[in-house]
Amino acid sequence: MDVIAFIFYVLHSLARLYVIVILVHVILSLLVAFNVVNTRNQFVAIVWSFTSRLVEPVLAYIRRWLPFLRNLGGFDLSPVILLILLHGIDNYFLYPMSIPGYSL
């Protein structure tokens, strides 16, 4: 396998894993907001801390550049923008470059 293709394949896999972390963070934030799970539970606190440390810095950057997305009827749409950007980067750049023999 081509070394460059392998590097892009690893980046593609990391992008897919990051999408899962974003979705877990969004779902967990909704469960905490609706008081379904409690952050005093040790497992919930660990998962919340882990996902927050990975996702919130990127979301804060998006919120700083697009402040109108933060309060649209009480919903924060910055994770949606992050997922759309990540999907576009992954499908149009990382995945095609991970195919051996692909060239620009």
- Judge contact between 34 and 40, C-beta under 8 A: no
Domain boundaries, the chain: 3-97
Q: Which residues of the chain have pLDDT under 70?
A: 1, 70-71, 103-104
Q: Please give the Cα distance from 28 to 75 (Å, whole number).
A: 15
Give the pLDDT score at 98.
81
> Token pair of 82, please?
């992050």
**The pLDDT value given to residue 93:** 87
Say which residues have a Cβ less than 8 Å from residue 95's Cβ, sequence separation at least 6: 8, 12
pTM: 0.88
In this prediction, residue 1 carries a pLDDT of: 55
